[in-house]
Each structure stands twice: as C-alpha cells, then as structure tokens.
Amino acid sequence: MVTHFTEEISPSVWYGWGDPARAKPLAPGALEFLRRTLRLASVEAVHPPVDLANVRVGPSALDAMVLAELGAITGAGHVSTEAAERILHAGGKSTPDLLRRRSGDALDAPDAVVFPGSSAEVAELLALCAKRQLAVVAFGGGTSVVGGVEPLRGRFAGVITLDLRRMNRLLHVDPLSRTATFEAGIRGPAIEAALAPHGFTLGHFPQSHQEATLGGYVATRSAGQASTGYGRSDDLVKSAHLETPAGPFDAGSLAPGTAAGPKLLDVVVGSEGTLGVITRATLKVSPAPAAKVYGSWSFPSFAAGADALRRLRHDGVRGDMPHVCRLSDTDETASTFKLGGWKTGALSRYLSVRGQKTPALALFVWEGDGRQARARRRRSARILQRAGGIPLGPVPGMSWEHGRFSGPYLRDELLTRGVFVETLETAATWGRVEDTYASVRRAILDALEVNGAAAYVQTHISHVYSDGASLYFTFLSGLEKDALAQNARVKAAASNAIVAAGATITHHHAVGIDHAPYLGAEIGDLGIKVLAGIKNTLDPEGIMNPGKLIPIDTEETP
C-alpha cells in the first residue's frame, strides 16, 4: 500500500511559509535566469522581513473583564493577547498579506486569539461575542490567499480570532460506507496519518496541505492536486456541524442520496466563516492506493495539450482518468526546467526534431491497484499520443510529486530578493479555455509591464472536468516601491479579464475580501441578497467574519 507522503510541519512562520529551515535556496543558474528574464539589476537578498520585535501591532481593544469572560469559557491559558500570537493571526498567506507583515505592519491584528477545545466552547464564545459586539474570525491553517482571515473589525468593538488547532481529532471511521468524521482543526498531514491505520486516504492534497485544515477545506471549497481523481473538497463532504450565533446547525445527510429539499449543506460549504464555525465534518474517504503509476507527455502547444486533456476526459473510459492531471503552458514548462536545474539539452534537441520547439509538459499520476493503474496508463497513452503527445516517461511526474509541497517556500526567497510573485486562478468551459487563458495572461502582462518593467507569466491546468478545466496563473516581476499598489493593479486587471471572459472569479481559492467585489457579476444581485438573507438568519448581529464573501455594503441587507 502506498502511504501518501505528507509530512507534519510546524505552523507557518509569521512572515511567510512553514518552517524556513526546510527551504531549499534557489540555485545560482535559476537566479540568473530570473534576473535576466525580469531585466533586474540584481537579485541580491536585500529585502528581508523586519525583525519580529519591530512589527507594529496596536494595543488590544479588549478590557480585562472581556478577557476574563473568554478565559472562563476556554481556560485562561487558551486566550492570548501576546503580540507574537496576534501578529501570526493578522492575516493569511497572500502576497499582499506577506508584504504587509514583512514590512512590519500588523496594525490590523486581532485583539485576541482564542483556542477553543470543543463545539460547546465555540457555541459559548459566539454567544459572548454577539453580546459584547465583537467580530469573530474562524482560523484554520491561516493559508487563505484571498484575505479570508483578515481580522476586520467593521463596526464592532473589537475582533477575536478563533484558532481551531486544538480541535484536531479523527472522531469516527465508517469503513463500510467509506466515510470519516473529523474535528475541523485537523491539518492535512494529521488527516492522512489518522486514516492510514484504517487503510484509507482523504485524497485531498492542496499545495497548502501541510498547513491547511479540514474546516478550511470545507469553508473554502478547496481543490487538491489529485482532485481530478478523488474530487474537490465540496465533492467529498457529506455533512458538517456548524456553530452559529443563532444556534447549532447540522447540514447535510449521511444518506447516500436524498431528495429532502434543497441541499442545505451547500450553504455551509464555501461559507468562509461568514455564517458560523464548522466544528466537525464527515467526508468520503478512499482506500489508500496500492500503487502509483506516473507518466508525462509533451505537446507542441498549451492549446494542443488542453485539447488532449479534454479528449482524455471525453474519449477515455471515465475510470481511466489520472488522479493527478497537470498541463503547463510553454512558459511554465521552460521555467520548471530552468528553476529545477534540469539538464534539458538532449531533450530539447529531441523534441525540436519532432516539431516541439517550445513544448508544453503534461504530468499524470494514476493511483490504485498496480496492474490496473498500469493498464489505465496504457489506455490513456493511446489517447494522448493520438492527440499529438510525445511520451517522456515517469521521471518528470515523480520529480514534481517529490517537490510539490516545497514550492511555497520559494515565494519567501523571491520577495527577499526583490521579486514580486503572486498567483491567481479561474476555470472555464472547454470552448472558452483558450480565450480565457490568452486574455487573462495578456491583462496580467499589461498590468506588470509598465515603465519598462519586464514580467513573466506562466500558467497550468491542474483540474480537468467533463465540461472544462481550471487555469492557474503565476506571475513574476521586479518588486515596485509600492508593491501593494502593484499587486492591486494586476489583481484588478486579471479579475476584470476573468469576468469579461465569462469564467469564474475563483476555481478554488475562494472569495474572501479580494474577490467579493466580483461575486455579483457571477451570481447576480439577487444571488448576493440570498446570501445576505442566509447570513441574517444564522448571524443576525453580523459578527461572523465581516467583509468576506458578501460585498460589505450588502451584508446587512436582510
């Protein structure tokens, strides 16, 4: 049996990702590639984060009485107003979040961080916060990249962050029905470690897996790297228990199918902490695979590769689809080879002779019984080759898997070296994938290439559906003096291009603050009112995560 290698790491450092001691520095060749491509005078590491002692954080707005009331619920040791703890909870992990904290600005930190130990404590805390008019931010791993855990006070007397890390148990496994119930604060590696003795996997591996939590997955509708095979978090979840200011809400059903009215579970899934706190959830699990089989193919262009993925999904037997299915555009393929230090001379010559001068690389992983997985790869290979793919063997896929959780460390090094880097994502129907790709890519480049600056945009597809695919853009440029304005400019340009293309404003990062202004274009004014009405029922005082998901001016409209 293959146990998914998912190593437990300590919660992230305050200015960046994970445990910096685990970061592998960029090789000199990769740095020179970046310097040349971005036309930078230097990529010396001269922009480090300020010292923690120099981070600005205001005094807590909570008085001794409120702190004592919080402590009476959780135990005083589980309520913190320490600056270091508040700074750690001052936001998520988007590039603007990190830029702010790295520059020493944590003035928006919560007034206190509270660590509840049970659903009952969460319920009591919400009742107290409603009474004392305190805003509440539910905090899982804090890996939001859309401002989802920003501790906005709104019109409230203060804001507390509820960090769910103490609620981290596997509660129940039903091996016959293949479901498991977890507390919400359990992180990715702990989920896999708890399921392994039962012979199961959740199969949910977002790149943030080592830090993100089950509650965060459900609250954001996350998609993992193997979601083409196992399904997204919103496919996996069967039921969830939500503590709301209006009382407990059990949404969903363990029944295999039901026609008992609208699916209220969908009110909770993707609610981003705006309705209440998910304290436990039951999700589908799968047998841990006996084997993994890897494959990679090269295509003459991104469009040709995308069409090959579509054909794989449409023409192949459904069960033959790989669990992991990733296609890089030609820019991402080139930078993967350069930054990864690959020696690609012979490969480039071979592909060039076969008509692929600027190849687009696709990686696949099939999981399951070894013999069957190999047969699925064989059948898929025929489709991929008919679609113009050249087989490149298992090594690129294995190498991607080996390094797949170390990518986030790279951003910290790049920011330190004066390189702006950020990502955004969308999804489009097959008929619109190519146009969406082209227009969003163009919008990002135009927004970054100002005043003679150079930029690099690379894109991949990592989730393949019957009717379309995701598009994930990573972009780099020199860090401008006002890097927050630089980020806002490119984010607005890309978001407008996504809306104009008729694609979704977010395929898996969720809405948070950053996408809230664009949600109306996707779900309509009435859709926003429906959301506001649900919020008004479950959170009549509006204390739950103000300013997220629902655009702020409509939030109070019943």
Q: Strand 170-174 to strand 158-163: parallel, antiparallel, or no bridges (unpaired)?
A: unpaired
Q: Per-residue x/- mask for ligand FAD, residues 516 to 545, rule CB under 6 A?
A: -----------------------------x
Q: How far is the CB of 62 from ligand FAD (least distance, A)?
A: 20
3-state per-residue secondary structure call for 408-451: HHHHHHHHHCCEEEEEEEEEEEHHHHHHHHHHHHHHHHHHHCCC
- Binding residue for ligand FAD (CB under 6 A) from 60, 95, 143, 356? 143
Angle between helices 483-500 and 516-538 (to 10 degrees): 90
35/472 with CB nearer ligand FAD: 472
130/387 with CB nearer ligand FAD: 130
- The torsion angles phi and psi of 363, rounded to 5 degrees, stand at -120, 140
168/554 with CB nearer ligand FAD: 168
Is 524 labelled a binding residue? no
Total of chain residues touching ligand FAD, rule CB under 6 A: 37
Q: How far is the CB of 176 from ligand FAD (least distance, A)?
A: 27
Is 273 labelled a binding residue? yes
Quickly list H helices, 103-168: 119-132
For the segment 197-256, give every residue that binds ligand FAD (CB under 6 A): 206-208, 212-213, 215-217, 219-220, 222-223
Quickly list H helices, 79-184: 83-88, 95-102, 119-132
224/359 with CB nearer ligand FAD: 224
Q: Which of 183, 464, 209, 501 is nearest to 320 (CA)?
A: 464
Dihedral class, residue 143 (left if φ above 0, else alpha if ψ from -120 to 50, else beta):
alpha
Give yes or no for residue 144 binding ligand FAD (CB under 6 A): yes
Is 379 labelled a binding residue? no
Q: Strand 112-114 to strand 134-139: parallel, antiparallel, or no bridges (unpaired)?
A: unpaired
Give yes or no for residue 159 binding ligand FAD (CB under 6 A): no
Q: Is 164 exposed, middle or buried (0-12, 13-18, 19+ CB in 10 A)?
A: buried
For the segment 422-461, give every residue that binds ligand FAD (CB under 6 A): none
- Binding residue for ligand FAD (CB under 6 A) from 308, 504, 548, 551? 548
CB count within 10 Å of CB 434 equals 16
Is 274 labelled a binding residue? yes
For the segment 278-337, give every residue that binds ligand FAD (CB under 6 A): 278
Q: How far is the CB of 227 from ligand FAD (least distance, A)?
A: 8
Is 276 labelled a binding residue? yes
Using the contact rule CB under 6 A, the part of the chain among 25-33, 141-149, 306-314, 379-387 near ligand FAD is 141-149
Tell me the C-alpha distance between 314 and 300, whole Å: 21
Give yes or no for residue 93 binding ligand FAD (CB under 6 A): yes
Tell me the C-alpha distance between 269 and 240, whole Å: 8
Q: How far is the CB of 148 from ligand FAD (least distance, A)?
A: 3
Tell me the C-alpha distance between 9 and 60, whole Å: 30
Q: How far is the CB of 251 from ligand FAD (least distance, A)?
A: 12
304/339 with CB nearer ligand FAD: 339
Q: Per-residue x/- mask for ligand FAD, residues 18 to 57, rule CB under 6 A?
A: ----------------------------------------
- Give me the DSSP letters along 336-388: HHHHTT---HHHHHHHHHTT-SS-EEEEEEEEESHHHHHHHHHHHHHHHHHTT
Instruction: Say if CB 300 and CB 330 are below 8 A apart.
Output: no
* Catalytic residue (one of 15, 294, 409, 472): 472
Residues in the chain, overall count: 558
- Binding residue for ligand FAD (CB under 6 A) from 14, 33, 115, 139? 139
Q: How far is the CB of 397 from ligand FAD (least distance, A)?
A: 17
Look at residue 506 and give its three-state secondary structure: coil
40/549 with CB nearer ligand FAD: 549
Is 278 labelled a binding residue? yes
Cβ within 8 Å of residue 287, ≥6 positions away? 178, 199, 200, 201
- Residue whose Cβ sits closest to ligand FAD: 216
Dihedral class, residue 276 (left if φ above 0, else alpha if ψ from -120 to 50, else beta):
left
Q: How far is the CB of 113 from ligand FAD (least distance, A)?
A: 12
Q: Per-residue x/- mask for ligand FAD, residues 361 to 400, rule CB under 6 A?
A: ----------------------------------------
For the segment 161-190, give every residue that binds ligand FAD (CB under 6 A): 164, 184
| Catalytic (active site) residue 456 | no
- Binding residue for ligand FAD (CB under 6 A) from 91, 273, 468, 478? 273
- The torsion angles phi and psi of 128, rounded to 5 degrees, stand at -65, -45
Q: Which of 13, 37, 114 is nearest to 73 (CA)?
A: 114
Tell me the C-alpha distance between 272 and 269, whole Å: 8
Annotated binding site for FAD: 272-278
- The set of catalytic residues is 472
Annotated binding site for substrate: 411
Give the footprint of ligand FAD on this chain (CB under 6 A): 92-93, 137-145, 148-149, 164, 184, 206-208, 212-213, 215-217, 219-220, 222-223, 272-273, 277-278, 408, 508-510, 545, 548
Annotated binding site: 272-278, 411
